[in-house]
A = this chain, B = another copy of it.
Amino acid sequence: MSLDAGQAGQGTPRKRADSVRNEQVLLAAAAAVFVGSGVDAPVREIAGRAGVGVGTIYRHFPTRADLIIAVYRHQVEACAEAGPALLANTESPHSALGQWVDLFVEFLVTKHGLAAALQNDRDGFDALHTYFVDRLVPVCAHLLQAAVAAGEIDADIGAYELLRGVGNLCAGEGKDPQYNADRLVKLLIRGLARPAPRRG
């Protein structure tokens, strides 16, 4: 096994600054391209958007699966961190929940691509899936809780249940032009809202 990584700060911080910067840029570019063109998007498109050469991509992510996995973890993390941030910056918790679910839906594109890319590696996929569940369910639960506390929604749905439902709504998205998952998800979230007290 190689302990070469230079984060423990033994004597020499190995990673060059431009390298770590490019890795971040690549993850962001790949995420955007996946959402726009699917996970089968050409490598050159990702490189172009990131403003780097294709060689750089292959240096950081030797296989397409490596790239997808990295984007996936990156997005799980970003999605998880966005939850509390949205809650803090948005007046209504229910609205924050809606915005957060939008992020979640975008991210599902990568997740579904991941499943296709890891057909061979059931174990690897399962590991990433439990990571995904463990990381995001609490965030969603937190948002739900806040909305309940604010009296905006009822407390009759669980976080896992909601995420699972949204995920299922997005299954097969993009295949059938008749089917628009986004719209259905929006409706679902709107349906969570407690009816406003009648005025009169």
Contacts and interface: CB of A to CB of B under 8 A. Distances in A.
Interface range on chain A (Cβ under 8 Å from partner): under 10
A175 B117 CA distance: 11
A176 interface: yes
A16 interface: no
Contacts of A176: 120, 122
Interface in A148-179: 172, 175-176
A176 B122 CA distance: 9
A173 B176 CA distance: 26
Nearest to A122: B176
Interface in A114-140: 119-120, 122
A120 B172 CA distance: 10
A114 to B, nearest CB: 15
Contacts of A119: 172, 175
A30 to B, nearest CB: 23
A58 to B, nearest CB: 23
Nearest to A172: B119
Contacts of A122: 176
A184 to B, nearest CB: 17
Interface of A: 119-120, 122, 172, 175-176
5 contacts: A119-B172, A119-B175, A120-B175, A120-B176, A122-B176
Among all A-B residue pairs, the 3 with the closest Cβ atoms = A119-B175, A120-B175, A120-B176
